[in-house]
Amino acid sequence: MEIEEISKIEILENDEMFIVLASGGKPMYQYIYREAAEIYWDNEAKGFKAPVPRKWTHTNWFKQIVSVAASGLGIRLKLSDFTVWVNVPRQTKIEICNILKA
């Protein structure tokens, strides 16, 4: 499984979660939509987007992105010491860090 480093995690103004990859990703990542998991690849911004939370929290959506990226694309997402957090509440950041440590 290929490892992709996360350069930025952002909660956008419209409340979508956006995860930018340091590598800029690969064109094949656009096919994540085939997993029918409500996640898509934004090729211009080079990141995965999850919808505005309805029943799920941002943490749940992050888990979904990690899971679908692994099963559908064969990539493992990883935080780094340089990952930038934008508009992410402290508790959500803690929960996301714990997800990737497990």
Domains along the chain with CATH numbers: 2-101 (2.20.20.40)
- Residue 23 banded pLDDT, cuts 50, 70, 90: very high
What is the band of 102 on the pLDDT scale with cuts at 50, 70, 90?
low
Listed residue (9, 15, 13) closest to 65, CA to CA: 9
Q: Is 68 exposed, middle or buried (CB count within 10 Å of its CB: 0-12, 13-18, 19+)?
A: buried
- Work out whether strand 2-11 and strand 75-78 pair parallel, antiparallel, or are unpaired: parallel
Mean of all residue pLDDT scores within the chain: 92
pLDDT at 101 over 90: no
Beta bridge partners, 9, equal 19, 85
Q: Are 94 and 19 in contact (CB under 8 A)?
A: no
* Single pTM value for the model: 0.91
Residue 62 has pLDDT above 80, yes or no: yes
Q: What is the DSSP letter of 85?
A: E
Per-residue pLDDT for 53 more than 90?
A: no
Is residue 34 over pLDDT 70?
Answer: yes
